[in-house]
Each structure stands twice: as C-alpha cells, then as structure tokens.
Structure 1
Amino acid sequence: MEFATPLIRATLLRRYNRFLSDIQLVDGTETRAHCPNPGSMMGLKDAGTPIWVEPNDDPKKKLKYGWRLSELPEGQMVCIDTSLPNRVVGEALQSGQVAELAGYGQIRAEVPYGTKSRVDFLVSGGALPDAYVEVKNVTLCRDGDWAEFPDSVTARGAKHLRELADMAAAGHRAVMLYLVQRTDCRRLRMAADLDPAYAAAFDAARDAGVEMLCYGTQISAKGIWLSDALPVELHDHATG
C-alpha cells in the first residue's frame, strides 16, 4: 500500500484531544496535524519523537498534514494510522500473500455478521469453507522484540473474538489476523496485564477453533506492505 503523497519528516510537539497533534516541520514551522489513532499510543506519543506526516492540498480538509509514522531511536518505524491495516491486509489477500488464506476466489470487505457487527473480510470460493477474517492493528512493544495486543482495554475487541468463535462453531473458518505495524518486533503475545478480559477471550476463541495469525510489515516513507508471518504466543492467560 503506497501513500498518496510521500511522507515528510517532522517532530512531535504534543498529541492531545485524541485526534490532534502539534508538530514542527524540518524548516522550523510549527503547525497542527491530524492524529488518526484514538488509542493510548503507549510509547509513541512522547514530545520530541521524530515522526513522518503526509501533506495534502485538499481544500476540504482543515488540517494540511496527517501523522502516519513514529520513528524509534534505532531508526525503526511504527505506523500509528489505525485506518491502514485493512488496506494493507486487503491488498495482501488479493495478491495471495497471506499463505493461510490463499486459494479463495472472492474477497469481500465489511460484511454484516454476528451481533450488529461487520467482519473485516469474508473470503469464499472453491471447495474451501468460508473464512471470516478480523484484522487487529498492533503497535505496542514494551519488552525486546515482543509485540503486544491490546495497548488498552478493548471490549469491542473481545466481542469480535466471541463472534469469531460463533462462526467457528457454525462450521466456518474464523481467523483473527494481527498486523504488527512496527518493524522492531518478531513475535506477538497478549498484554494480559492491560486487558485481562481480552486475554481470556483470546484463549476461549482459540480453544473454540479460531485461527490466530500474525504478520509483520515493511514500512517506509513511501508505503506499508505485508511482510513475514510471526509466531503468536498461545499459552493460557490467567485472569485471577
């Protein structure tokens, strides 16, 4: 997935109001940028963080810059835009890059299912059972090369796991695909200390037959692309 406009480097001054941030461009100009991430963004929003923003000249947009990447001290990149994982995974599904989901002839996005929900992708076709695929954006890292999910309490995320478990019980394939949008992680585990209920829902969904996949990404100022499959830690998470 290529950015519509190549990104430019800036420095984060502060992030506030969930969707707004103050930034400083390389020429010293201070301006405001849209922050496309309402989550906690743990470890990615400190003042002085080098970031990459996408400029736009759309007269309908109040803000002329959109924050896309945070740059880590070692030069690794993290994509903070929560709107992009589905685009990255959608392109990868179309090109057959997700090995576990290759061979399907039809890929549909935002298909109603469950309880007033829409599954990110429903893939079908051929002799294979329909596969319901949810995508989760992973940006948290607190220890070595471990990516962790979630970075805050997510009741909605737990609901998605329960709905996938229902699909598995009905005889369909049900897949939770975690997309690690940072280039410094090589494996994934649940952040059970941040959201014990989600970790418990993860365990229950896995036991019900939901497939837990994880993929890394290649990230640059030009775009984001699916990378290698990463291992998922699958041991039970205590909630007591």
Structure 2
Amino acid sequence: MKINIEGNKVEGVFQRRLNRFIGEVLIDDKLEITHIPNTGRMKDFLTNGANIILRKVNEPHRKTQYDLLMVYKDNTLINIDSKLPNNLLHKAFLNKDIEGFQQYDDIRREVTFGNSKFDFYLSNKKESVLVEAKCVTLVKENHLASFPDAPTDRGTKHILELIEAKKQGFRTAVFFIIQRDDANKFTPNQEMDEAFYKAVLLAKKVDVEFYAYTCHVTPNSLRLKNQLEIIL
C-alpha cells in the first residue's frame, strides 16, 4: 500500500531551525524559510548541512513558500511530514491491506472519545475499534526505531484513554508508522519519556494492541513496508 506525494518538489540544504515550525534552508544558494510539519526534535538528522527535499507552495496567505518533506541521513531518506502516516494508514484500512483489520467496513477519521481525539474509528456489526497512529522518525543504534523523540504528554494521554476505552468494550490499537526503512525493531523511548513508556506497559497488560511498520520512502511516494517486532 502506498500514497503518492504530490506537488512541485525541490532539493535544498538545511541550515537551522528557528522554532518548532520554521526553518532556514538553502535552495540554489539562496536562503529561504520553510514550514516544518513535525514538532519532533529530529536532532540526529535535521542538522546543518543535511540534504533535504521541499515542496514549493503557491498560497498567498502562507508565511512560507516551502514545506520541508524529507531529509537524507547518509543513504536513508526520511519522511518528516507527520500528516502522511495517517493518510497512508487510512488508505490501507480502506483497501483492507492491514492483516487483522480487514473486517471493518465503517472507517472514520478523527473521532472523539473521552477527552481525546483519535485518528481512526473502525466498526462492523460485532465490534468497534479506536486506533491511534504515531509518526516515528527516530532510529537508534542497532536499527532500533523508537518513539517519542521528545516528551509527549499528549501521547501519554492517548494511551491512557485507550486503556479506558478497552475497559468499556472497544478494541483498541496503536500503530507506530516509522517514516524510514532502516529499522528492524521498535521500542517505546523510555529514556525520553518515562510516563509514555509506563503508559504503554499498562496498556499492554489490558490488551491494547501495538503495531509497528516501516515505510519505503521516495521523493514521490510513501509505502508501508515491513511489520516490526515490538520490544517492551
């Protein structure tokens, strides 16, 4: 399953991050500013001198004319647009490409439960499912993907809400969509966020389901690739 990444793409060189959402880049030796569609830290690859792929945006109301889509780390291309994993997973659910989730015909996006909004609600005549998707860009040593790369109170809240939903009879699941193809295992990032890690352990005990998939990334497409073992 893959999605196409549309738009007028250009190559550049990353310079520095001005804040969470804005960065400076060089395009044809000209300094420009770009929107960064990911609030993660990405310190291991979003560095001065990194080769990048941007999309030119022709929208008069925008403060920036570019979106930063992808970053090269050595020979690995990493997608950083945090919206794309949800789009990819949505298409996979619609096409019934995810094993274990092929029996649902009602598929909705951004559904509220409790005090949280979840990415997907799936249902059939027998059961209802709440699904949260997380965009993963961090891969540590030994090809170990990990989330989060910055503390995430929101992520912890989602996990705790899924525990409550499970107690109320929902099937519940979290998908970690790894935006690169150089990982072979996944683990929650205990070093970065102990609370998130503990919430995952609690959720696992009550049978909240966890899945991790790598993606094959090209300048023009994003495709689900391999399901990974999750180490807790």
- TM-score, scaled to structure 2: 0.94
Instruction: Identify, as 1 or 2, the structure richer in strand.
Output: 2
Counterpart amino acid of residue 55 in structure 1: K
Q: Is 1:56 aligned to residue 57 of structure 2?
A: yes
Further displaced range: 36-45 or 184-193: 36-45
Q: Distance between the aligned counterparts of 1:177 and 1:100, measured in 2?
A: 13
Q: Is 1:113 aligned to residue 74 of structure 2?
A: no
1:76-106 Cα shifts (integer Å, max 9, x gaps): 1111112222111111111112112112101
1:150-169 Cα shifts (integer Å, max 9, x gaps): 11211111111111111111
How many equivalent residue pairs?
Answer: 230
1:177-226 Cα shifts (integer Å, max 9, x gaps): 11101121121011111111111100000101100111111111102122
Aligned residue number for residue 140 of structure 1:
138
1:34-86 Cα shifts (integer Å, max 9, x gaps): 1112221231221001111011222232311110111011x211111122221
Q: Distance between the aligned counterparts of 2:26 and 2:70, measured in 1?
A: 14
Q: Secondary structure at the match of 1:7?
A: strand
Aligned residue number for residue 195 of structure 1:
193
Q: Secondary structure at the match of 2:165?
A: helix
Q: Distance between the aligned counterparts of 1:7 and 1:226, measured in 2?
A: 22
1:116-152 Cα shifts (integer Å, max 9, x gaps): x11110001143x211100011111221210011112
Q: Is 1:91 aligned to residue 91 of structure 2?
A: yes
Which runs of 4 or more aligned residues in structure 1 lie more than 4 Å from their structure 2 counterparts after TM superposition? none
- Return closer, same or farther for 1:224/1:28 CA change in 2, 3 Å cut-off: same
Percent same amino acid at aligned positions?
28
Q: Distance between the aligned counterparts of 2:227 and 2:83, measured in 1?
A: 21
Q: Secondary structure at the match of 1:132?
A: strand
Deviation of 1:4 after TM superposition, in Å, equals: 2.2
Deviation of 1:11 after TM superposition, in Å, equals: 0.6
Further displaced range: 185-194 or 1-10: 1-10
Q: Distance between the aligned counterparts of 2:18 and 2:180, measured in 1?
A: 22
Q: Distance between the aligned counterparts of 2:109 and 2:69, measured in 1?
A: 23
Q: Distance between the aligned counterparts of 1:183 and 1:55, measured in 2?
A: 25
Q: 1:105, 1:126 within 8 Å by CA — same for their partners in 2?
A: no
Q: Distance between the aligned counterparts of 2:184 and 2:9, measured in 1?
A: 25
Q: Distance between the aligned counterparts of 1:119 and 1:212, measured in 2?
A: 15
Q: Is 1:102 aligned to residue 78 of structure 2?
A: no
Gaps of 5+ in 2: none
Q: Secondary structure at the match of 1:38?
A: coil
Q: 1:178, 1:215 within 8 Å by CA — same for their partners in 2?
A: yes
Counterpart amino acid of residue 12 in structure 2: A
Q: Distance between the aligned counterparts of 2:58 and 2:150, measured in 1?
A: 34
Q: Secondary structure at the match of 2:68?
A: strand
Q: Distance between the aligned counterparts of 2:25 and 2:9, measured in 1?
A: 14
